[in-house]
Structure formats: C-alpha cells, structure tokens
Chains A and B, each alone.
Chain A
Amino acid sequence: MSLPDLITVLSLVLGAFFFLAGTVGLLRFPDVYTRLHALTKADNLGLGLIVFGLAWQADTWFEIAKLFIVWGAIMLSSTTCCHLVAQVAITAGITPWRRRDDH
C-alpha cells in the first residue's frame, strides 16, 4: 500500500470514528445542547478527516479545492443550524442539563 493510500485509509477510519462518536452522543447525551455539541463535532472533525483522506485520491487540484469547499460549506451551515437550534431551545425555556451532584 502506497503512502497516500495509507493516509487515506487512516483518515477515513478516524473520520468514521468521529461520526460514530457523534451518533452515539446524539443518542445518549442528556439534553439538546450536549447533543448539538456531539453532532457538530462529527460534522466538523469527522467530515474534515474524510475530506482530508479523499483529497489524497484526487486527480487534480481542482477536485481537492472542491472537496475542501464542500467541507467549508458544511461547517458553516452546521454551525449556523446548531446556533439556531440552541437559540430556539433557550427561547423555549429549556435549561441546560447539569449533573445532579454539581449544586
């Protein structure tokens, strides 16, 4: 296996792990804010790693540029969505979850 292929495989596996972690977080975390945290981590880091891995397989610089534009666009939209959901949740009066023994 050549070095670019090895980098691709490693980043894809690591990226997939972040998506898995994000999904587990979405299912297991206690409230909407922490779930948002888990989801956006998957979007940003997981997709970033996958884009990084795929870039090593691209034929032209143009393809690499397109891949990173996709990543940038998704980061922007997921950040904005996260902010919107959190804002609506705050306005609806959902208080952030706290561990019971904290207070």
Chain B
Amino acid sequence: MTIRLQIFDAVLVLTMVAIALRALLIRDLFQSIVLFIVFGLTLTIAWCRLEALDVALAEAAIGAGLTGALLLNTLAATRGREADRLTENEPRGGREQAVTATSAPTGPSAISLRPTTAIGFVATAILVAVPLSMVVVPFARSNEAPRISIEQALPESGVTNPVTAVLLNFRAYDTLLEVFVLFAAVIAVSPATLSAREYPTDIGGPVLRAFIRFFIPLTVLVAAYVLWAGTKAPGGAFQAAAILAAGSVLLIVSGANPPSPEQKRWRVLLVSGLAMFLLVGWSGIVVGGQFLEIRPPWAGPLILLIETVLTGSLALILVLLFRGTSLDELEHVASREVTK
C-alpha cells in the first residue's frame, strides 16, 4: 500500500470516529440524524476502500439513505406526539381522540389470532424449519466445519459474482432467514401507532413534479440494472430493492398514495419473495437433492428468479417499515373488529 493511500485511510478513519462521536454526543436529535447520514456516507467510502462494493452499495442505499429517511420520519412523528402530551388537557385533534376511544377497548381482539392465521404460521414454520434443520443439523453434529473454496465452487453456483453465489446458493439459508427477519419486522411494525404522516401534496410545485416524473422511471431502470448486474458484478436483490424503496419513499413524501398492507395485492407482493424462495428450496428436495440445493444448469435462472421476486417484496417491506401504519387505518381496523 502506498503512503498516499495510508494517509487517505487514516483521514477517513479519523473522520468516521469524529462524526460517530458527534452524532452520539450532540443534544439536538435532528442534527444527530443528519450526522448519522453523513456517517453512513463515510462508511460507504470505507467499504469501497475495502473493495466490498456490494456492501458499499447496500450501505449507501439502506444505511445512509433509507435509514436516514426513516429516522427523520420518526422524529417528525414523535415530535408531534411530544407536543400533544404537553397540551394534554386541551382537546386533542378529533381524529386522534377517536382512535384512542375506539381502539382501546378492542385492543386485545385486534391482536388476537384468527384460526387461519395461526394455521398459516404453523405451516410456514414447518415448511421452513424442517428442511432447514435437515440441512443444518448434520453440519452441527460433525466437528468439522464444511469448507468450500469459493473460487473452486463458483462455476457450480450459476453466477459469476462470488457475493451473489454465497448469498443465494452456498449460504442461501442465511439469506432466507434474513428475509424472514425483515418480514417479521414489518408484521411487528404494521399495527404500531407510529403514525404515517399526511404529507402535503402541494409542496415543491412544478420543480418537484418534473423531477419526480424524470427520476422515478430512472429509479426503476437503475434497480433493474443493479438486479441484473448482481449475477456477475456487485449488485443484487437487496440493493435493487433499496433503490426501488428510495424511489417509493420519494413518491410518498411528495403526496402519492402509499401502499396499504390492508389491500390484498400488496399482501401478495409482501409474501411473494419468501414464497418463491421456499418454493425453490423445496423444489431442491422434490428433484432429489436437499432443501435449497441449487445446481446447474438451472442455478443461474433460479437465482435470478428468486432475486427478481425478492426485489419487489423487499422494496415493499422497506417502504412499509418507513411508513408504519396510519392512524386512519388503525381506526378502520378497530371499527371493523367492533362490528364483527
């Protein structure tokens, strides 16, 4: 390593530590979030320096971009609540009061499981846990960790990008469980009281409208490119989904109708990624191999198939995480439970 690169790295590391410290110690939450976003950008540069471009892409899109938007959104929502609490005795906004009034008594019934839901949970758990344990337990029993050389095994993976090969072939079960974690998070968040804010529709005017008209198609194009490139270069489902989600968040904050988990089509999209992943996993067993065993000549197309469907699901998951569920919807759900 040349001395110039060493100096660059030293400056980068010191900058990161300084920004991290400032983000943690500063009192104003808004400034803290902005510093966190800046920290994400410097972290992206660090991943680039480590030649981990896949991670750098994900960090730039999710760590710096989406998480920043998520935090700012949360801050705005909680600040509103804080103000509400300070003026506790004054009559609050009619809508909010209506929600607390209707949802409080029906709270337990709203979270109680319907039989079909419970059966769905158990079935999914069996569909995932049984084959996974069939794959993982033998490894856990044997004292030797399975060692494969990525370079040697790469031709069998169906893709030429080693990161994608590990994520969707050699250690696909890790990725499957990761998607489950995100899915569980969205299920946990969706009934939360974090209000989806009403964004003003008149903000920005013609400039923002023109920007969106040009930029949203570009976002879709770039996401498709990143998804496609993932088979042979840095990229893939997670990065593509983050880009799509960022575009959707831009649409939502400028007044577009956000996706609602109440609607069936969005629910289908929400589970489609996991469903496709499981389907491919089980097809491995059906053709006589193991769960999630993907072999050529079908490995390449199958990986691309999983990644494509996964992109839509993950993007929706990220958008729903950003948005939370609106108070209107909670009210709607609560009143429906009452009439039942």
Interface residues of A (CB under 8 A from B): 73, 76-77, 79-80, 83-84, 87-88
A22 → B minimal CB distance (Å)? 16
Give the distance to chain B from A84, nearest Cβ to Cβ, in Å: 6
- B206 to chain A: closest residue by CB: A83
Query: B214: which A residues are within 8 A, CB to CB?
Result: 76
In Å, the complex CA distance between A80 and B218 comes to 16
Which residue of A has the minimal Cβ distance to B212?
A80
The reply to whether A84 and B208 form a contact with Cβ atoms under 8 Å apart is yes
Q: Which residues of B contact A88 (CB under 8 A)?
A: 203
Which residues of chain B in 182-238 are interfacial with respect to chain A, using CB atoms and an 8 Å cutoff?
203-205, 207-208, 211, 214-215, 218
A84 touching B215, Cβ below 8 Å: no
A–B complex contacts, Cβ < 8 Å, 21 sampled: A73-B218, A76-B214, A76-B215, A77-B211, A77-B215, A79-B207, A79-B211, A80-B204, A80-B208, A80-B211, A83-B204, A83-B207, A83-B208, A84-B203, A84-B204, A84-B207, A84-B208, A87-B203, A87-B204, A87-B205, A88-B203
| Sample of 12 further A-B pairs with CB below 8 A, known A80-B207, A80-B211, A87-B203 | A73-B218, A76-B211, A76-B215, A77-B211, A77-B215, A79-B211, A83-B204, A83-B207, A84-B203, A84-B207, A84-B208, A87-B205
Nearest CB of chain B from residue A2's CB, rounded to whole Å: 19
By beta carbon, the residue of chain A nearest B205 is A87
State the majority secondary structure of interface residues on A: helix
Nearest A residue to B215, CB-CB: A76
CA distance A88 to B207 in the complex (A): 14
Distance in Å: Cβ of B254 to nearest Cβ of chain A: 9
* Distance between Cα atoms of A80 and B214 in the complex (Å): 12
A83 proximity list for chain B (CB < 8 A): 204, 207-208
A40 and B272 alpha carbons, distance in the complex (Å): 42
Cα(A73)–Cα(B214), bound, Å: 10
Most B-side CB within 10 Å, residue of A76, A77, A79, A80: A80
Q: How far is the CA of A83 from the CA of B208 in the complex (A)?
A: 8
Least distance between B247 CB and chain A CB atoms (Å): 12
Whole-angstrom CA separation of A15 from B215 in the bound complex: 26
Which chain B residue lies CB-closest to A69? B218
State A88–B205 Cα separation when bound (angstroms): 12
B215 contacts across to A, CB distance below 8 A: 73, 76-77
Residue numbers in B under 8 Å from A80 (CB-CB)? 204, 207-208, 211
Q: Within the complex, what minimum Cβ distance (angstroms) separates B229 from chain A?
A: 12
Q: Which residues of chain B are near A87, meaning CB under 8 Å? A: 203-205
Cα of A76 to Cα of B211 in the assembled complex, Å: 7
> Cα distance A84–B211 when bound, in Å?
11
Q: How far is the CB of B193 from chain A (nearest CB, A)?
A: 27
Quote the shortest CB–CB distance from B258 to chain A (angstroms).
Answer: 20
Bound-complex Cα distance A36 to B214 (A): 23
CA A76 to CA B207, docked complex, whole Å: 10
Instruction: Please provide the 6 A-B residue pairs with the shortest distance between their CB atoms, ordered closest to farther.
Output: A80-B211, A83-B207, A84-B204, A80-B207, A80-B208, A76-B211
Q: Which residue of the partner chain A has the closest CB to B211? A: A80
Could you tell me the distance between the alpha carbons of A80 and B215 in the complex, rounded to whole angstroms? 11
**Min C-beta distance of B287 to chain A, whole Å:** 39
Shortest CB distance B116–A (Å): 45
CA A88 – CA B218 in complex, angstroms? 26
